[in-house]
Chain A
Amino acid sequence: GESVGLHLPTLSVQEGDNSIINCAYSNSASDYFIWYKQESGKGPQFIIDIRSNMDKRQGQRVTVLLNKTVKHLSLQIAATQPGDSAVYFCAENNPGTYKYIFGTGTRLKVLA
């Protein structure tokens, strides 16, 4: 079946460094992608989204890159802070459907 997966289950970065979290998706028809952040004991929170007609989208300290050729999505966090420690999920959906398919998540640990 279709799936959204992540390359690394845990990522450790030094405070102040940039973080890159990767995601692979399998459905070439997917045209909308979201990144969520989930802190311990809380529900997922929206970070940033991107449509397939874009290659890059920037938010506050975050950038999402989409490479449709290799079906790869990444989330870049600039100047990683302790508050960025969380599990990050990518999700995809297809046009005309309502189901969002979530990956298993990557845990980001920020080292002081």
Chain B
Amino acid sequence: GAGVSQSPSNKVTEKGKDVELRCDPISGHTALYWYRQSLGQGLEFLIYFQGNSAPDKSGLPSDRFSAERTGGSVSTLTIQRTQQEDSAVYLCASSLAGLGVGELFFGEGSRLTVL
């Protein structure tokens, strides 16, 4: 497809389990962002990838969270030993240049529920 694709769209897991969320950005977009959106809240920045540069991980809330981007394209956000407070919608976005000016194209998100 032409847009940002995320999977799974919904994930229900038990506390303590690990989860992986996948993002497939728009082809040719060098910048990729992960945001977290808790119920009724705004978007919380998690991590940013730009080309081959080292990612900015400053938004990751704990060391249980990690992300990688392979080949400058697909990204995976991993949450280890999930907690109930991790329940949220995880949004991925990509942009053409990542220079802080210009539209971010968002996927539809992965809704994570931790029981």
A-side residues, CB < 8 A to B, are 32, 34, 36, 41-46, 49, 51, 89, 91, 93-105
Closest partner residue, chain B, to A34 (CB atom)? B103
Size class of the B contact interface (CB-based, 8 Å):
20 to 34
- Show 13 residue pairs from A and B whose CB-CB distance is below 8 angstroms, ordered by the A residue: A32-B100, A34-B103, A34-B104, A43-B109, A44-B106, A45-B106, A49-B103, A98-B56, A98-B100, A99-B56, A99-B100, A100-B100, A104-B42
How far, in whole Å, are A45 and B91 apart by their CA atoms in the complex? 12
Is A42 a contact of B103 with CB atoms below 8 Å?
no
Is B45 a contact of A89 with CB atoms below 8 Å?
no
Shortest Cβ gap from A75 to chain B (Å): 15
Is B91 a contact of A98 with CB atoms below 8 Å?
no
B-side residues, CB < 8 A to A, are 4, 31, 33, 35, 41-43, 45, 48, 50, 56, 91, 93, 98-101, 103-109
How far, in whole Å, are A34 and B106 apart by their CA atoms in the complex? 14
B107: chain A residues within 8 A (beta carbon): 43
Is B108 a contact of A46 with CB atoms below 8 Å?
no
Is B104 a contact of A105 with CB atoms below 8 Å?
no
Closest partner residue, chain B, to A51 (CB atom)? B101
How far, in whole Å, are A98 and B45 apart by their CA atoms in the complex? 11
Closest partner residue, chain A, to B4 (CB atom)? A43
Is B43 a contact of A98 with CB atoms below 8 Å?
no
